[in-house]
Amino acid sequence: MEAKKIAEGIWEIPRTAKEGMLVPARIYATDELFKEMDQGVFEQVTNVACLPGVQKYVLCMPDGHWGYGFPIGGVAAMDTKTGVISPGGIGFDINCGMRMLRTTLTEPEVKPRLRELVDRLFQTVPSGVGTKGFLRLNEAEFREVMVQGAQEMIRRGYGWPEDAERIENLGRIPGADPAKVSAKATSRGIHQLGTLGSGNHYLEIQVVYPGSIYDPDVARALGIDRELQVVVMFHCGSRGFGHQVATDYLETFGPAMKRYGISVRDRELACAPFASPEGQDYFKAMVCAANSAFANRQVITHRVREAFSDVFKRDARDLGLEIIYDVCHNIAKVERHRVNGEERELVIHRKGATRSFPPGHPELAERYRAIGQPVIIGGSMETGSYLLIGTAKAMEYSFGSTAHGSGRTMSRTAAKKKVHSRDVLQRMERQGIYVRTASFAGLAEEAGMAYKDISAVVDAVDTLGISKKVVRLQPIGNIKG
């Protein structure tokens, strides 16, 4: 499929490339990253461009790769009146996201206790297949989590009052309706709050090494204020609860499409008009799952604070364990954006893409309104991650969105054939990274060589201007789910 480079870092596939495309598709990537893009991205991004009500263009971020339905890294804006909502544009792991905490500790202080700290976190933040958390909620209490999100956990004592303003949407997206959630989804997820999950989910102890701060003023405003500072970053989502909500509605949308006369090029793009009863039911259930993901990351935050406090024998507040930010990267949200010079209400689907709102955006909490929204881009377990900041260019170019991670270049099955978990573990230990995992076999699947170069991805979004680099973080301790 032909894609034309229309400006530095921007490639466009015209509407004529595939029958049924309503808008062009754009891929944001450097020449090198574009060359590496797999064929699945081109096929999927143009399939999305055929969905009813899609606006302006469908986007794929530089970390894009072959997903199911949408490509991972996909962003699509649908008109709220004439457009659709598609679970395939959000992902099964609703509100999978990243959270980052700062500390006032430095690497020389943490290194001697690193194994103890990581071992302790490995115990208290359960990871892997079918694990349960420590919280035992009844169904009424879990429904409160669906509505109140992280704020419910803070109210229950698993957080500090100021935590909420450091989370996207204050950790509680309005519009949740637990009545739209199945009993199966509830029974699948009710005991999983505070768990990491598996696959590419992780919790890392990271260090800001000298030369890793690109914007000292913004870094300071975000709480990164000393050399060799230690931070904590983790990646997880709504666990079985969100997975079941998505599965349930994927089934509901098949017959709904027949009723509304919608056909799609991939069954995984099943959708319903956003304004229809089916579309609204899914949106309300999806918000329940998104709020439970915020609550999940809040409980993990509580466990991280406890672990640091136990290991360093100091109060978590004294250790400065504040949230820097929490972002969603699998979500649909109703937002206002300009299309052809006119401000419109749109359903922005971000599947493996992060919101990147600029300074002054009215949806940002007071704390970050002056500097813009922090953006967390997590790399592979071997290579490090980045903290960035949202920009006005993102509003102009990408419906206020940017990349979310490094993006896979190799399937899990292929990675396991190329490298052995033992070698990955030894290499990471040589680099000074202490690893604990619930799945030794799964380490090979997450090897750095199975991913794109995170720095290349971040440089691509920074050069294009849809978010700006602030700090690079490198891991010294890793819990792989």
Query: Which spans of this chain sit near another protein (rule: CB under 8 A)?
Result: 38, 40, 65-69, 72, 88, 91-93, 128-132, 184, 187-189, 192, 197-200, 239-240, 243-244, 246-247, 250-251, 254, 266-268, 270, 408-414, 417, 438-439, 441-442, 445, 481
Q: Please say which residue, 367 or 417, places its beta carbon nearer to another protein.
A: 417
Q: Are 215 and 470 in contact (CB under 8 A)?
A: yes
CB of 129 to another protein, least distance (A): 5
Q: Please say which residue, 10 or 438, places its beta carbon nearer to another protein.
A: 438
CB of 316 to another protein, least distance (A): 28
Options 65, 337, 349, 404, the catalytic residue: 404
CB of 427 to another protein, least distance (A): 20
Q: Please say which residue, 177 or 268, places its beta carbon nearer to another protein.
A: 268
**Beta-bridge mates of residue 478:** 204, 435
Q: Please say which residue, 55 or 421, places its beta carbon nearer to another protein.
A: 421
How many CA atoms are closer than 13 Å to the CA of 293, on its beta-carbon side?
36
Residue 296: enclosing H or E segment and its boundaries?
Answer: helix 277-312
Instruction: In whole angstroms, give the CA distance from residue 83 to residue 46.
Output: 16
Instruction: In whole angstroms, give the CA distance from residue 455 to residue 401.
Output: 18
**Number of other CB atoms surrounding residue 280 within 10 Å:** 17
CB of 351 to another protein, least distance (A): 11
Instruction: In whole angstroms, give the CA distance from residue 153 to residue 302.
Output: 9
CB of 224 to another protein, least distance (A): 30
CA-wise closest residue to 146 among 280, 30, 291: 291
Q: Please say which residue, 66 or 260, places its beta carbon nearer to another protein.
A: 66
CB of 450 to another protein, least distance (A): 9
Q: Please say which residue, 206 or 244, places its beta carbon nearer to another protein.
A: 244
Structure tokens at 315: 């109060």
Question: ∠ at Cα 305 (99, 131), nearest 5°?
Answer: 70
* DSSP strand pairing (467-480 vs 434-437): parallel
Instruction: In whole angstroms, give the CA distance from residue 304 to residue 322.
Output: 11
Instruction: In whole angstroms, give the CA distance from residue 98 to residue 252.
Output: 29
CA-wise closest residue to 234 among 294, 182, 162, 316: 294
Tokens 């199911």 sit on residue:
68
Q: Is 404 annotated as catalytic?
A: yes
> Which residues are marked as active site?
404
